[in-house]
Amino acid sequence: MASSKQRLSIAKQKQVNCINRRCKSGENLTRAFDMVCSYYHVDYKSYKEVCGACLAKCLKHFKSLETKMKSGECIMDGQFPNYDAYCVIESDDEEDTNSSDQPQDIIAGIDTAVDMFFEDHNELIDDQITKCNDYLDKSLRNCTLEANFIDNLGTELQNEITSLRNELYKPYKPVIKHVDPIDIFEDSKKSDKDIIAVNRTICSVPADLPKEGPLEYPQFKQGDLLYGMKFTLKQPWFKCKIKSVMNDGNVHLLFDSEEKVLQAKEVASFEESPVRFPVGCRIISKFTEIDSDVDYYYAGIIAEPPNLINRFRYMVFFDDGYVQYRQHKDIRLIRHQTNPVWNDVHPDSQEFIQQYLMKYPERNMVRLNKKHFVRAECENRWVLAKVLEVDASLVKLCFTDSKRTEWIYRGSSRLWNIFEQQAKSVKGIRLRQSGLAYLNKPYVEYTLMEEDTTSSAVKNVARKSTSKNSTAQNDNHTSPLIKNQDTFKVTTLSLPYGVPQTKQFVIHNCGHSCIEWTAYDYNKTKRISMLATPLHFGFIRYIALFNDVQKCVMYKTPCGRTIRNMKEMHDYLFSTKSKMTVDQFDFNSWVNPLMEFKVLKSIKFLHDISDGKEFRPITCVNNISHRLPPNMEYITERRAKAGVNLNIENNFLCGCDCTDNCQDKSKCACWQMTIDGQKILPNLDKDPNMGYNFRRLPERVLTGIYECNKTCKCSSTCINRVVQNPLSQKLQLFLTEKKGWGVRCLNDIPQGSFICIYVGNLLTETDANEGGKNYGDEYLAELDYIEVVEKIKEDYESEVPPSDAEDESNKSDNESGASIGKVSSDEDFQTTTEKSNSESNIISRLRKRKAVNNTTNVKKDGSHVPSKWNANSMKNNPLPPKSIREFYGNNESVYIMDAKTTGNIGRYLNHSCNPNTFVQNVFVDTHDLRFPWVAFFALHYISAGSELTWDYRYDVGSVPGKVMKCHCESVYCRGRLL
């Protein structure tokens, strides 16, 4: 049995052999040799031949460490050894491998040596532990002080930012007022408990406005005061007195300077009426001339009753062609009126008054605001007029050539929009669903004037009804979606178990390997919503709060990288060569990719009306009756029928050579075609970023979009390829209560997202008109891209307000008698008779008009400068020609898309006067301007379960004898579709 001294010697020898072996391999064993030499008292000089510089370095390091400890210095003040300075001391297995007790002897020897070292240096080690603790406490205090300083600095900066933000938004801070709640108690019995008093604070009924009631026509009595028609219907009426009453019903009147015999329809009451005047009542009313304080009574009729909209005033149509709003106290009743009443009106106004009263309460008026310039008739010429003010049904116009101002009824044909609509109706021109709608332009709207709108305002109570009549269809079913909320729900879906999990981020350059492992497959996403697709393949979408207020959306990629905006996401997808497209992501906090509309109960349900032809199935739900959609052949591409020459050959297409997914719009030939299209519209700045923004369309492009096509070299994920892709949104067909079948989205749709296209059979205009008469025209869409753009060009050219410099030049030209340029621009809107006049006559007429307009419209005797309601003398004015189609020769007609028997989901989108989608013309398979694709895009954010609607833009009244009411029920409803 070897002694402990021998075992220690053997252990030392084995450690020395290990050191020798490691030194020969070039390893740094400073720390290990230091421990062996000092702990085991090995004579390092005997191994100098083996270690050389390594032994010298170990000895130097040990002496330095021992000196520091003995001097009382804290060794942590120096360089603290790192992990690489340590090594593991192993035994040499090559020697004495047969000795079973050797490993235990080595371990025991090492333990003994370690114990001896700690016993010899116990005091030094305790002292070093104390010093090290003090050193760590001091360092911790310093770190705490630095951290507090940084926190205080951050708090000061945050307070300063908050103060600046509050100061910036202070003017826009909403004023919040707390009002007392109104309790509504339900009671099965009709009693006073159902009535709750409501205080009127806005638009209260004037105290001098009487109640409604039958008009009274009292008998004439000698000596009564009246107002009489002293001259003609267009001239003022004056105060008079009855001298005698004749047997034939006429009255002998005494005026200030003369006597006159008048009929009963030529005299009016002197006193106010004790009841309100109904629409169509024959009256005289005061008329206040602009910039004049003189009021005269003129003959006219009541055209609009007092209500909340017109601030409880009457609208009066005067016989001389003027219109004004007047209070009840300014109006007097004419003592007799014939039936029909328009027989009493002056012949110049009879036609307009007759048409107005026969259509009332339905009225077509032009919607205008102060930003608009419109064309209006002035002295048998169409001139440019600026909208100064809009007052209910009236508009105040300033004619730019003469600076004359006049109030005009918004339904008068003196406004070009009304006149153009009437001219189209007379000529039988019908505009079907337009491919483009006007942006911020005056347009004709149809409204219903309810005569009893003030009845509820007169009462000081509001009644709660518990048995309101239903607006059901013929099958006497009410919509469960409205009456029973248990039939559907909007819920947030959960991701399935086993989806790829995002990796922890490590600094690297992203490539295809970053997403390849997620195994993304487009064909596996049929049942997944578009925005939820990335979340099923390794992406994480989360919302962070900035300053505890502002929400920021960010994505975590499968490789752990953080993406903050669409540009970064597009660059990431491009660098990783992903098959995903950038429009599958959204950075708006209000959009929830996992939100989905689900129907819980239904009477009829179909799983896919497209029968697999669309990439995503389109379900069909009927919660009202047992009806199913009409039979239709579902197609995804339009079909050209007989007589339609649709050329889609590659030779007639222009493609690009882009290899960067068309990111650089300045180098993409297709994108430049979209941008260059703006050149045809005058006064429109060229926008280099027009078109798609990361595969979304923020606003309509009037001149059309040219997408990349089959001749381009870009990939399928190109940001200029949108409508040519398969259906991306999850849609559902459902039956509405009033509008027939409609379409709703099952998931949230961000603004500008592509929804679907409108396809059907392409027909010639002749075939479409014939088929529409026989089988119905509710699914006809006119490809009128050329007409719409030409109309916009015409509107820009005719409605551009003149600059100050132009006004001065025109003024000087008129004064010098050289206004040929000005007259030639107006000549386009003159009648045939006026065009035949000589240049001198035109100039003299302009001068004469200018002189007249500088004076008041009231003559010395009180009579008006005549005005009128209708542009009757302008009816022979030709409509603007269709210039572009002339280049197509015999094929210049407008082509029609018919989706009645053959079409897709786009045919079911209903109309709304306040739609949530818009129509965009897109050129994909052909650059022929006659055949654009009709595509639908989200006008704004659309929540899951919302019905998708667009504005049909029918020309109301264009089909004689056909009236189609609008049931969109929006705030901006125009009342009629046709």
Model confidence band, residue 87 (pLDDT cutoffs 50, 70, 90):
very low
Report residue 782's pLDDT band, with 50, 70 and 90 as the boundaries: confident
Q: According to the 3-state scheme, what is the secondary structure of 152-175?
A: HHHHHHHHHHHHHHHHHHHHHCCC
User: Is pLDDT above 50 for 120?
Assistant: yes
Checking if the pLDDT of 497 tops 60, the result is: yes
Position 808 scores a pLDDT of 42
Res 876: pLDDT = 46
Closest C-alpha to 484, from 603, 594, 618, 626: 603
* Lowest mean pLDDT segment, chosen from 11-15, 86-90, 840-844: 840-844
Average pLDDT, the chain: 76
pLDDT at 21 exceeding the cut of 80: no
pLDDT of residue 248: 75
**Buried/exposed 719-737: b ≥16 CB within 10 Å, e otherwise:** bbbbbbeebbbbbbbbbbb
Paired with 705 in beta bridges are 922
Under the banding of pLDDT at 50, 70 and 90, the label for residue 833 is very low
Crossing angle of helices 102-120 and 4-24, in 10° steps, is 90
- Residue-level pLDDT at 977: 78
Q: Which of 484-498, 533-547, 666-680 has the lowest mean pLDDT?
A: 484-498
**pLDDT at residue 112 greater than cutoff 80:** no
Task: Quote the Cα angle for 73-77-81, to 5°.
Answer: 110
Where is pLDDT greater, at 318 or 890? 318
Backbone angles phi and psi of 560, in degrees to 5 = 95, 0
Long-range pairs for 38-47 at CB < 8 Å and ≥24 separation?
38/62, 38/66, 38/117, 39/113, 39/114, 39/116, 39/117, 40/8, 40/11, 40/12, 40/15, 40/113, 42/12, 42/16, 47/16, 47/19, 47/20
- Residue 107's pLDDT band (boundaries 50, 70, 90)? low
Residues 187, 466: Cα–Cα separation, whole Å: 9
pLDDT greater than 60 at residue 25: no
Q: Where are the domains of the chain?
A: 4-120, 129-171, 496-592, 606-784+894-947
User: Is pLDDT larger for residue 828 or for residue 351?
Assistant: 351
Number of residues in the chain: 978
**pLDDT, average across residues 273-301:** 87
For residue 626 the two structure tokens come to 């047992």
Residue 233 is predicted with a pLDDT of 87
Q: How confident is the model at residue 847 (pLDDT cuts 50, 70, 90)?
A: very low
CA–CA distance, 425 with 431 (Å, rounded to integer):
10
Q: Which residue has the higher pLDDT, 97 or 133?
A: 133
> Strand order of the sheet with strand 382-391?
373-377, 382-391, 394-399, 405-409
Give the separation between CA 338 and CA 448, rounded to whole angstroms: 26
pLDDT reported for residue 89: 44
- pLDDT over 80 at 414, yes or no: yes
Residue spans of alpha helices (H) in 817-930: 820-827, 832-835, 839-853
Considering the chain, what percentage of its residues have pLDDT values greater than 90? 32
pLDDT at 134: 87
For residue 862, what pLDDT band results from cuts at 50, 70 and 90? Answer: low
| Assigned token pair, 163 | 């103060």
Would you say residue 262 has pLDDT above 50?
yes
Residue whose tokens read 């006159």: 260
Integer Cα distance of 97 and 678 in angstroms: 92
Closest among 407, 233, 206 to 324, alpha carbons compared:
407
Confidence band, pLDDT 50/70/90 cuts, at residue 379: confident
* Higher pLDDT, residue 178 or 506: 506
**pLDDT for residue 63:** 62
Q: Using the predicted structure, report yes or no on whether residue 37 has a pLDDT greater than 60.
A: no
Q: Which pLDDT band holds residue 558 (cuts at 50, 70, 90)?
A: very high
The residue ranking higher by pLDDT, 835 or 227, is: 227
- With 60 as the cut, is the pLDDT of residue 93 above it? no
Mean pLDDT in residue range 393-409: 88
**Angstrom distance (rounded) from CA 758 to CA 902:** 11
Residue 577 CA neighbour count, 13 Å, CB half: 6
pLDDT at 781: 83
Q: Given this model, what pLDDT does residue 579 score?
A: 92
Selected residue with higher pLDDT from 10 and 139: 139
pLDDT in tens, 60-74: 665 666 676 667 666
Q: What is the mean pLDDT of residues 439-443?
A: 62
Cis peptide before 340 (omega within 30 of 0): yes
pLDDT tops 70 at residue 806: no
Worst-scoring range by mean pLDDT, 492-496, 772-776, 848-852, 891-895? 848-852
Q: How far apart are the first and last CA of the chain?
A: 118
Instruction: Say yes or no to pLDDT of 370 above 70.
Output: yes
pLDDT of amino acid 394: 92
Other CB atoms closer than 10 Å to residue 452's CB: what's the count?
9
pLDDT reported for residue 965 = 83
CATH topology of domain 606-784+894-947: Beta-clip-like (2.170.270)
Per-residue model confidence as pLDDT tens digits over 151-168:
899 999 989 998 888 888
Give the per-residue pLDDT at 114: 65
Q: Give the pLDDT confidence score for residue 852 in this predicted structure.
A: 37
Flag the least confident range among 298-307, 430-439, 618-627, 882-891.
Answer: 430-439
Residue 844 has pLDDT above 50, yes or no: no
Instruction: Give 966 or 195, the one with higher predicted confidence.
Output: 966
- Crossing angle of helices 122-169/53-70, nearest 10°? 80
pLDDT for 295? 81
pLDDT at res. 175: 73
Residue 319 · residue 298 · CB < 8 Å: yes
CA pseudo-torsion sign 25, 29, 34, 35 = negative
| Angstrom distance (rounded) from CA 2 to CA 106 | 12
pLDDT at 466: 28
Residue 845 has pLDDT above 60, yes or no: no
Interval 730-753: pLDDT, tens? 999 999 988 899 999 999 999 999
Lowest-confidence range among 473-482, 486-495, 658-667?
Answer: 473-482
Highest mean pLDDT among 374-383, 591-600, 770-779: 591-600
Stretch 842-866: mean pLDDT: 44
594-609 pLDDT, tens per residue?
999 999 888 899 999 9
- pLDDT value of position 945: 93
Whether the pLDDT of residue 94 is over 50: the answer is no
Q: Quick one: pLDDT band at residue 418, thresholds 50, 70, 90?
A: confident
Which residues, in sequence order, are bridge partners of residue 462? 196
Q: What is the 3-state secondary structure (H, E, C) of 641-672?
A: CCCCCCCCCHHHCCCCCCCCCCCCCCCCHHHH
| pLDDT tens per residue across span 911-934 | 998 899 999 999 999 998 889 999
pLDDT at 91 over 80: no
Mean pLDDT of 677-696: 79
Question: Taking a C-beta distance cutoff of 8 angstroms, is the pair 976, 964 a contact?
Answer: yes
Q: Is the peptide bond before 593 cis (omega within 30 degrees of 0)?
A: no
459-472 average pLDDT score: 30
Which residue shows structure tokens 């007790």? 101
Determine the Cα–Cα distance for residues 441 and 443; give it in Å rounded to an integer.
6
Cβ-proximal residues to 307 (8 Å cutoff; 6+ apart), any chain:
450, 453, 454, 457
Find where tokens 């997914």 sit.
661
Q: Which of the 8 DSSP states describes residue 948?
A: P
Give the three-state DSSP class for 309: coil
Residues in Cβ contact with 860 at an 8 Å cutoff, skipping those fewer than 6 apart = none
Q: How confident is the model at residue 498 (pLDDT cuts 50, 70, 90)?
A: confident
Alpha-carbon span 375 to 583, nearest angstrom? 42
| Residue 220 DSSP label | P
Closest by CA to 59, choosing from 91, 85, 78, 33, is: 33
Tally: H helices and E strands in the chain: 19, 39
Comparing 883 with 841, the larger pLDDT belongs to 883
Contact criterion met (CB below 8 Å) for 279 and 360: yes
Q: Provide Rg for the chain, Cα atoms.
A: 44
* Pairing of β 267-269 and β 619-622: unpaired
CB 972 within 8 A of CB 916: no
User: What are the DSSP calls for 632-643, one per residue?
Assistant: -EE-SS-EE-TT
The answer, yes or no, to whether residue 186 has pLDDT greater than 70, is no
Query: Is the pLDDT assigned to residue 103 strictly greater than 60?
Result: no
pLDDT at 938: 95
